[in-house]
Amino acid sequence: MCEFCVRHGDGRKWYLEAKNYAEDLLSDVRRRRFIADFLGQADHLGRQSKQLERLDSAPAFVRRAVGAFITRRMKVEHFGQVVPLEDIEEIFRFVNSIVRVPCICRHINLGREVGYCYGVSLGGGSFADILGEQDSSYLGAPDTSAFEKLGREEALAAFAEHEKEGLCHTVWTFMTPFIGGVCNCDRSDCLAMKATVIHDVKAMFRAEYVAAVDRDACKGCRACMRVCQFGALAYSAADKKAFVDHRACYGCGICRSACGHNAIALTPRSESPVANLW
Ligand code: SF4
Ligand code: SF4
C-alpha cells in the first residue's frame, strides 16, 4: 500500500475512507481558502509547469533536489493517486455531492474548457459554494455557470465515457488528507501526470493495482498498447502476445477496457514484484 494508505487509511485504501472526504475537513477555513486560491490560479500553475520543463536541462543533482522538494510540498497540499473505475464507483457510492467543472490543466494547455474534473464531498457543498464565500473566481473568471451538479449514475456514466477515451482516473487532495477532486488525466494535458511521468517529479502515486495479461486469452491485437499512457505494455513478436512491464505500470486499468478479448485483469500491487513501487 502507498504511504497515504498507511497514514490516512489505517492500512486500507485511503481514498475509500469516507473520513477523507468529510465535512469537518472541508469546513476548515484554511482549507477552503486553499481550495479557492488553487481554483483561481491557472496562470500561476501554467508558470510552474513551464519551470518544470526548464528543469529537464538542469544537472541531475539539481533535478533530484528540486523534484524532491516539489514532491514533499505537493504531498502536503495537492497530491494524487491513480484509481481504477471500480474504485471510482465505490467513491461515488458514499459521497453526497458530485460537481463537474472545467479542467484547469486543459484550460492552461489547450485554452479550452473541458469538463474532465469532478469536485466531490460528503457534506453536499460544492466548489462553487467555496468560491462564493471566499469572494474568489474559477480560473480567474467569476463565471461558474459551467459547473454541473451530477447524480451518482450520471457521474458513473460520464466516467465510463472518459474510460473509453483512454483517460486515467485519479483522486486529488486539497490539503492532504482531504480529497476534494476526482479527475480524468492523460499525459499530454494533465500537468501532474506530465510532471510525474515526463519530468520525473512525482505528483501522484500509482494505483494499488498492476495489470496482468492472460496469455491464453490474448490474441496479440495490440489494442491495449495503443491506450497505455505509461508505455507499460509491450509485444512479443515470437509469442504474438502482449506483456506488461510492471515497473512502468500505473494500474489504471485503461488497457483492460480496450481489450476486446477480456485478456487483462488488475491484480493487487501488494502481491506483485513491484509491491513497493509507487
Ligand atoms: S488488447 Fe487484449 S488481446 Fe489484444 S494484445 Fe492486448 S491483451 Fe492481447
Ligand atoms: S499497462 Fe494497463 S493498467 Fe498498467 S499503466 Fe498501462 S494501461 Fe494502465
Query: What span, in angstroms and rounded, lies between the C-alpha atoms of 248 and 104?
Result: 26
Q: Give the N- to C-terminal CA distance of the chain in Å, as an integer.
A: 9
Q: Is the CB of 232 under 6 A from ligand 2?
A: yes
Helices vs strands, H then E, count in the chain: 12, 11
Measuring CA to CA, how many Å separate 253 from each of 68, 113, 170? Answer: 28, 26, 12
Q: Which atom of ligand 1 is nearest to the CA of 235?
A: 5
**Other CB atoms closer than 10 Å to residue 95's CB: what's the count?**
20
Between the CA of 246 and the centroid of ligand 1 the distance, in Å, is 16
Query: What span, in angstroms and rounded, lies between the C-alpha atoms of 20 and 18?
Result: 5
Q: Is the CB of 244 under 6 A from ligand 2?
A: yes
Compute the Cα dihedral for 116, 117, 120, 124 and give only its sign: negative
Q: Which atom of ligand 2 is nearest to the CA of 211?
A: 3
Between the CA of 245 and the centroid of ligand 1 the distance, in Å, is 14
Q: Is the CB of 159 under 6 A from ligand 2?
A: no
Q: Amino acid letter at 268?
A: P
Closest ligand, as measured to the CA of 163 = 2
Q: Is the CB of 250 under 6 A from ligand 2?
A: yes
Between the CA of 222 and the centroid of ligand 1 the distance, in Å, is 5
Between the CA of 252 and the centroid of ligand 2 the distance, in Å, is 5
CB 107 within 8 A of CB 139: yes
Q: Which atom of ligand 1 is nearest to the CA of 259?
A: 1
Q: Amino acid letter at 66?
A: V
For every one of its 278 residues, what pLDDT tens digit does the chain have, with 9 covering 90 and above?
899 999 999 999 999 999 999 888 888 889 988 888 888 888 888 888 888 888 888 898 998 999 999 999 999 999 999 999 999 999 999 999 899 988 989 988 888 889 999 999 887 667 777 777 766 777 776 567 778 899 999 999 999 999 999 999 999 999 999 999 999 999 999 999 999 999 999 999 999 999 999 999 999 999 999 999 999 999 999 999 999 999 999 999 999 999 999 999 999 999 998 888 88
Between the CA of 276 and the centroid of ligand 2 the distance, in Å, is 17
C-alpha cell at 110: 489547450
The predicted model scores a pTM of 0.93
CB 140 within 8 A of CB 43: yes
Q: Is the CB of 85 under 6 A from ligand 1?
A: no
What count of Cα atoms within 13 Å lies in the side-chain half-sphere of residue 118? 26
Q: What is residue 123's predicted lDDT score, i.e. its pLDDT? A: 77
Q: Which atom of ligand 1 is nearest to the CA of 233?
A: 6
User: 177 preceded by cis ω (within 30°)?
Assistant: yes
Q: Which atom of ligand 2 is nearest to the CA of 227?
A: 7
CB 170 within 8 A of CB 179: no
Q: Is the CB of 235 under 6 A from ligand 1?
A: no
C-alpha cell at 126: 460544492
Q: What is residue 124's predicted lDDT score, i.e. its pLDDT? A: 66
